[in-house]
Structure 1
Amino acid sequence: MHKELLEDIGEKELIKRLAEFMPKNQVSDDCAFIKAKNKNLLINTDSLVENIHFNDDTISALDIGWKAVACNVSDLISSGCSKIIGVNIGLVVPSKTDWLWIKDLYTGINLALDYFGGLILGGDCSVGKEKVISMTALGKQGEIKLRRNSCKPNEIILTTGIHGLSKLGLMIKSKTIFDSDIALSHSLINSSLQQFCRPKLKPKFLKKILKTRTNKSIKMIGCTDSSDGLFQALLDLATESNCKAIIDYAKVPKHKNWPTGNKWDEYYFFGGEDYELVFSLPRKWANNLLNEDQTITEIGYFLEGDVSVNFKNCDNKNLLKNKSFSHF
């Protein structure tokens, strides 16, 4: 009998198969929703694995701690979290790990929690061959649920901030050699390193969504984050909502000094770890939000049709041939 290896089936297919062991729609979003008597909760788990997500050459323990919180909080925010309660930490480290590395890691975790909210609730420690930080974050579900399966045809697609910076930050930290005709500005370098090491996220996003809402009967909208890249975020929304996404390449927001070229399009759309929000709203609501927050940009719209992500006003014919990051 032929063995099916994880490297062959890939991360998305693995999640699809694991979903068969869970209640319906349990893996449609990164966060799990728990309906409780007094308050509804969101719970999310993310793991950072040495030599997959980080290594000592590219990022400090202090910044790893921050990012471990950020990647979890980002999923809570993109599900409509109104308050971060705290995190549980599963720590796996080799026995010869320097205590100062652990101290810096937890210092970074607390710095992030001071910024985003919440406390360290507990956790577990174990020995292993490589460092692993597995974190579970809990938050309170807000008034509006943000879910990947709630986008609708004719809604406007929007995104917070700009993308590609974390990918570039990693490349700079990894001492990647760029083409001789590429000169990175100090502004672009600083923004990229900031986004790679200590992403700030959008903790006030839900409040702005509520403030600009035109119809209070709407209790759910389509949303996800760009932790796996902007293209994957768009594809996830289209897939779960069974819609066709049309993206206007000319409207996609970029850093003012972002280089041009097919390779830089790849970094931008498929880089990941930017933790920006990608979502859709009815036109009137979208206009209100765009007037309220100048950092949010309209980049396209959804239509009825086969699940897909399509670009217009784009000269890069090879853009869709790129692939999103996969853990396997």
Structure 2
Amino acid sequence: MKEKEIIQTIKSTLNSEYIGDDCAYLPDLGIVVTQDSLVEDVHFTRKYSSPYNLGWKSAMVNISDVCASGAKPVYLTIALSLPKNIGNDFVKEFYEGAKDACKDVKIVGGDITGSDKIYISVTAIGSTKGRKISSRSNAKEGYKIIVSGEHGSSAAGLKSLINGIDNPEFIKAHLMPAAQRKFSREIALNAECDYAMMDTSDGLADALYQIASASNTVMSIDFEKIPYNKKLEEFPDWKDLILYGGEDYELVAAVPEKLLKKISNYTIIGDVKHGSSGIKINGKFYSDIDSKLYNHFEE
């Protein structure tokens, strides 16, 4: 069973209006809530990731989800499940990494349990005060598709680690991603109309496809307009790394054109068009990209 099928089963079983975006938006409380988990030998291996790296990344991926909603990240809780051979030095270094990633986001609690390997589960809360919150279903025909930064670097970093290639810039992009707080803040504070926004944790193509599916539109992009580090071209599959690699934690948004004059540091990569949900890349239509994407539940 695929991850998206499991999510759909949960959503239909609970009949919940809150499931479907990076965060659950609770307007009566003025907050968004998100939760993400990192599992040893699924999302990371201690061979490549230091405790500091793990703390940083586990905090940052949740902060990124809050930013994708348009909310301001404010609080984090961290639950750690650790094997018996993990000592205090690991815990201290892990929380140093998480603290440095958080900056002004406060870590306010969590849980510690024993386990056969490392499991990290983080919950993040964001404030919606003064901000317009995004939804994947809000992309509309005529909107511009914009991204916050370069794509493909994290996937190149992972490949470099696995193959023992010295690529410090790409490796840092993989081990220590940065949430796009300024990009999110500028959009959420200045938006007057509905807009759609996601992070690219599962890849740029996946984010585009999720928005297209939720809003029943076509996300049409020009590949040549996607920003990327030119060193990526040293990899034979560099185009796939850009589209499908994932874990860059950049933001992609579909916004009305009039909003663009109020924000900075973005790249227009395409337009939202009318049609059956899917994505167009250089004019070629894709209604299903699952075969290209990472699936947690594949054998």
Instruction: Tell me the TM-score normalized by structure 2.
Output: 0.91
Deviation at 1:326, TM superposition (A): 1.4
Cα pair 1:270 1:322 within 8 Å, conserved: no
Aligned to 2:233, what secondary structure does the other structure show?
coil
Q: Does residue 1:40 correspond to 2:30, yes or no?
A: yes
Select the residue among 10, 13, 30 that pairs with 1:18: 10
The change in CA–CA distance for 1:320 and 1:19 in structure 2 (over 3 A counts) is closer
Q: Does residue 1:312 correspond to 2:282, yes or no?
A: yes
Structure 2: any 5+ residue segments left out of the alignment?
Answer: none
Q: Does residue 1:323 correspond to 2:292, yes or no?
A: yes
Cα pair 1:199 1:275 within 8 Å, conserved: yes
Which runs of structure 2 are paired with 1:134-149 in the superposition (5 Å)? 134-142=121-129, 143-149=131-137
Cα pair 2:132 2:189 within 8 Å, conserved: no
The change in CA–CA distance for 1:234 and 1:34 in structure 2 (over 3 A counts) is same
The change in CA–CA distance for 1:202 and 1:128 in structure 2 (over 3 A counts) is same
Deviation at 1:23, TM superposition (A): 3.8
Which runs of structure 2 are paired with 1:170-189 in the superposition (5 Å)? 170-175=158-163, 189=167
Select the residue among 163, 175, 178 that pairs with 1:197: 175
RMSD of aligned residue pairs (Cα, Å)? 2.2
Question: How far, CA to CA, are the matches of 1:100 and 1:212 in structure 2?
Answer: 44
Q: Does residue 1:232 correspond to 2:206, yes or no?
A: yes
Larger Rg: 1
Q: Which moved more, 1:125-134 or 1:95-104?
A: 95-104
**Structure 1, residues 265-317: CA drift from partner, whole Å, max 9, x if none?**
1111111111100111122323x15xx523x1111111111111111178xx9
Cα pair 2:138 2:195 within 8 Å, conserved: yes
Question: How far, CA to CA, are the matches of 1:162 and 1:120 in structure 2?
Answer: 29
Question: How far, CA to CA, are the matches of 2:176 and 2:127 in structure 1?
Answer: 24
Identity %: 30
Cα pair 1:58 1:170 within 8 Å, conserved: no
Deviation at 1:79, TM superposition (A): 0.2
Q: Does residue 1:109 correspond to 2:98, yes or no?
A: yes
Q: Which moved more, 1:191-200 or 1:302-311?
A: 191-200
User: Runs of 4 or more off by more than 4 Å in structure 1?
Assistant: 210-213, 319-322
Aligned to 1:154, what secondary structure does the other structure show?
coil
Instruction: Tell me the TM-score normalized by structure 1.
Output: 0.83
Cα pair 2:22 2:68 within 8 Å, conserved: no
Structure 1: any 5+ residue segments left out of the alignment?
Answer: 1-8, 178-185
Deviation at 1:164, TM superposition (A): 0.7
Select the residue among 142, 146, 158 that pairs with 1:158: 146
Question: How far, CA to CA, are the matches of 1:313 and 1:236 in structure 2?
Answer: 19
Deviation at 1:123, TM superposition (A): 1.2
- Matched with 2:258 is 284
Counterpart AA for 2:233: P
Counterpart AA for 2:153: L
The change in CA–CA distance for 1:283 and 1:258 in structure 2 (over 3 A counts) is same
Q: Does residue 1:61 correspond to 2:41, yes or no?
A: no
